[in-house]
Structure 1
Amino acid sequence: MQPTGPAYPVNFAIDYPDRPLNRLTSFFRLFTTIPIAIVLGTVYSGGADWGRWGGDDGGHATDVAAGFGGVLFFGPLLMILFRKKYPRWWFDWNLELQRFANRVTAYFVLMDDRYPSTDDHQSVRLDYAYPGGTLNRFLPIVKWLLAIPHYIVLFFLHIASVVCVIITWFAILFTGRYPRPLFDFVEGVLRWHNRVIAYAFTLVTDRYPPFRLDP
């Protein structure tokens, strides 16, 4: 049954690979992902320096900022709070970084056997509309707290996803195919995850994420 009402403003989907997948790279996926994961890690860790504020030497605040890595969180929060504005280039940075991270994730969990691109969208689609000045100026302060129920649910969903990926790994080795029900479930968990990130950390929407896997 499709949900009623307006669609959630964060759209995420991965094209199902209705074709034989590469069994060799699937077998070694844990290792073939390492180079692009290092690239992704350098982009994320590069976001720590801008957060060096507070404390005698800035060390404590840097650790806090590094927890969010390259995702711009404190800057947009302050701009929304004091000027009710989300700078467009900060929005574009967060969106493209999340797209890149999702391409790497989709490759790692066997949903695509094409090596992740740093710029081409490939089979992964993530979009959300630029909010402009429509955001509530005070919600960003508490969004991370309001999203706690989602963190709890996602903890168990991610465990289930790991089990699905392990089963899929064997399925691809023997059949060359990603079982469609497992694909839909893992895609749904990633969709849910991206909605929570968009709400609580990249702060691009004030609409509370729905508790569902479907679009």
Structure 2
Amino acid sequence: MSTEQDPYEEGKRAGIHPLIVLFGAILVMWLLINLAVPSGKQKQAAGPEISQVTTEDPDAAPVMYKVQATLTEFNAVSIVVPAQATTSQVVGLLKQFKQARLAQSLPSMLPATSPGHKLGDQAVADLYIFSDPKYATPEAVGTLARGAHAPGNLYPQAIPFEEAMEHVLGHYRIDLNDTSNPDTGSLGFADDSGVHSKQYRRIF
């Protein structure tokens, strides 16, 4: 009679315990995922994403502004803020205009851009914010309103589009005809063709 113990003796488990196999498989999968997906630190080494850039300081004081020009033929208004205005203050002003538009109090802050429109006197509007009054003139705003691809010989302009565009601190587009996206606000400026300034960043 053999004295060796039968490995397949009744009542005893043969092979590795199933829980060990399960935990082993989870550990292998965890290692593979961590090797394949870069960590947060490695992502940051490539440079900050635009969405991570802080543009609003909740403690920033409201900025003073004045309306420089109104062009009803382009549904446009140019607004001038002090040269010392910060990015946070410009963002705050854009959001202030939007809140006023939603509360239907924008007419008390700005002149009509679409007088007589069935949806209101500011149903369609382009608000351009500058710190340099030189670029808030009707001529410069008209250049921006016509867009980057307007023929230069048809619309003679003292200030080129590319130059005027780079001096826009903030832009707020209202179009109540577009029910899916009636409000668009940004730092910098982008026209309908996608041409945009270096500092362009959409806010809402």
Tell me which structure has the larger Cα radius of gyration.
2
More helix by share: 1
Question: Same-fold call, TM > 0.5?
Answer: no
Q: Per chain length, whose mean CA-contact separation is higher, i.e. which structure has more relative contact order (CA < 8 Å, sep 6+)?
A: 1
More strand by share: 2
TM-score of the pair, normalised by structure 2 = 0.23
TM-score of the pair, normalised by structure 1 = 0.22
